[in-house]
Amino acid sequence: MSFSDKLSTHEAGELYPLKDEELHPEHVEDYLREGERWATEEDMGTLRRVADRIPPAAIFIVLTELAERFTYYGITGPFQNYIQNGYKTGPRPGAINGGQHMATGLGNFFQFWCYLTPIFGAIVADQWLGKFKTVLLFSIIYIIGDLILTLTSIPASIRHGGALPGMIIAMITIGMGTGGIKANVSPMVAEQYGRYRPFVRKLKNGSEVVVDRELTVQSIFNWFYWAVNVGGLSAIATTEIEANVDFWPAYLLPTLMFVFCVLVFWLGRKRYVITKPNGSIVIKAYGTITTALRNRRKAKAENQLLIGEDGKKANWMDYAKPSNNFCDASVQWDDKFVDELRIAIRSCKIFLCYPIFWLCYGQLSNNLISQSGQMNTGSVPNDIMQNIDPLCIIILIPVFDWLIYPGFRRCGMELRPVARITIGFLVAALSMAYAAIIQHVIYTKGPYYKNAGDEGYGFNDISAGIQVPAYILMAISEIFASVTGLEYAYKRAPESMKSIIMSIFLLTNAGGSILAFAFNPISSNPHMVENYAIVSGLMGAFAILFVICFRHYDRREVQETKDNTVFEKN
């Protein structure tokens, strides 16, 4: 059955013309339920737009991500103390006694590695296994890393020097497992929603609303990120176990949880929309780009530059299109792939400012933990403070999804991706500025002043409760910038490139970790005020640069969405 035949079984009336190949194949599965009709252009302009319900298959994947993040944050929560402090030698728990420099450096390395490996995970999924099998394979690698960390954190191993080499091996293994999962789980969750055309639904009160795929994907990623942060609360349990029992049971708990994670993912296998591998996009993209550059240089030298329909010079990528007769017959791509790659490259530009954002975010899992160790935390461990961030996100995401974003839309001021990301960057800068102010206050308090928290010194006479606004601000910035980045990476990537574009977005986190290495010389007393102040200034500057460079992307996205949407004629 052709595309038009399948579509006619669901609707009557003419459609605005759109080529079949411009639609995702799952468009042919679009359907209407009772009380629904296809949206017209007039409906889109007059009716309230809402998100659809999240499909059950997506919920299985969200639960899987929740369990995986429970494991990840459960094991990383105690990392700073585990590396920085000695084993049962001071007021704070520890094992390796490497100091703040080593703790922050290894923490940055682990974060860098975890966000570099998604590139490999995307290639494995695209070239050989597909997303579902790749997630299962890398989950086994992840469990092996968890077991190594747990076994080398028992008291006998710590006393005989096994903690440090065991941690490094575990970091490498867990990071590899994380990469295969992260590159594929988030695009897979959005793929479970198969309704692409906007439609009108009549509510119980008799009013009508437009159910919009764009808002549904935004909502799916909001709740996906919500699940990530519910899982992140595991650090509350593991830091308490670390402080009151020992490190090995603190690491055993998330290890067991990850076994449950794999089981949940497996149980949902019959419900998933599973895409087959289509070959390595990386290799094909490399060949396309190099061919385009080579052909353009040749055309320029021979004065044969392509001219577009608007009379302007053609885009440099057009020189890789077989239809323009610059390529030989052996190329492994067509004109459609070149157009998709051009969209992907243009979309990836928006990620260039994200490493600075991740540099800010990274402070939560290392330097801010050490900062709370310089203050009075009462009867709770200092590294429990980092859990304020996921707690705030868990509370705020429903508020944003149900109240704030719909409220802006009702007022005719919808927050498009670039606007949301800019706000997120600015709030992150405020968070780091506040952290710098806190650090200055710490240094002016006794009894240890600028030596507080160092080996052999206790904490200053100041409550760690003053850290709370820094975590709240960072949580708000994540909802605006991080969630929107995930959503943008999925929505703007062509269907054949979802995993690889998602891995490129995740790679920006690795870029933030590389930048963090440059801050290592000032990531300890008495330089922490300068550390936070510089990070804040960089984030503020890049927020301004971001809006200057990409402010037109929101307008372009609105127009492209309108151009590529099928509507029923009035």
Domain of 98, CATH number, reads: 1.20.1250.20
User: Do 63 and 10 fall into the same domain?
Assistant: no
User: CA 523 to CA 516: how far, in whole Å?
Assistant: 9
DSSP conformational letter for 15? B
Specify if 555 maps to a domain. Answer: yes
In sequence order, what are the beta bridge partners of 37? 200
The low-confidence residues of the chain, meaning pLDDT below 70, are: 1-29, 279-280, 560-567, 569-570
Per-residue model confidence (pLDDT) at position 85: 93
Q: Is residue 47 part of a domain?
A: no
45 part of a folded domain: no
Residues 24 and 119 grouped into a single domain:
no
pLDDT for residue 380: 86
Q: Which two tokens stand for residue 524?
A: 């300890």
Instruction: Assess whether 244 and 387 both reside in one domain.
Output: yes
The answer to whether residues 124 and 281 touch, using CB atoms and an 8 Å cutoff, is: no
Residue type (1 letter), 527: H
Number of domains in the chain: 3
Indicate whether 221 belongs to any domain.
Answer: yes
Residue 190 CA, chain-centre distance (Å), reads 13
Rounded CA-CA distance 405/399 in Å is 9
Same domain, 269 and 313: no
What is residue 173's three-state secondary structure? helix
Distances (CA, A) of 398 to 12, 59, 557: 38, 16, 25
Residue 387 domain boundaries: 56-277+342-563
Residues 11 and 121 placed together within one structural domain of the fold: no
Whether 235 and 351 map to the same domain: the answer is: yes
CA nearest 265: which of 53, 63, 27? 63
Kindly state whether residues 264 and 146 are assigned to the same domain. Answer: yes
Bridge pairing between strands 199-202 and 36-38: antiparallel
Question: Phi-psi bin for 35: left (phi > 0), alpha (psi -120 to 50), beta?
Answer: left
Percent of the chain with pLDDT over 90: 57
Its sign, for the CA torsion 153, 155, 158, 160, is negative
Same domain assignment for residues 254 and 401? yes
Q: What is the distance between the alpha carbons of residues 556 and 554, in angstroms, rounded to a whole number? A: 5
49 in any annotated domain: no
In a shared domain, residues 262 and 289: no
Terminal CA-to-CA distance of the chain, rounded, Å?
A: 27
Q: Which of 315, 333, 351 is the last residue of a domain?
A: 333
Residue 46 lies in a domain: no
287 with 427, same domain: the answer is no
Same domain, 320 and 357: no
Q: What pairing do the DSSP bridges indicate for beta strands 199-202 and 48-50?
A: unpaired
Q: What is the pLDDT of residue 569?
A: 63
Q: How far is CA 374 from the centre of its chain?
A: 31
> Same structural domain for residues 290 and 411?
no
Tokens of 288: 């396309």
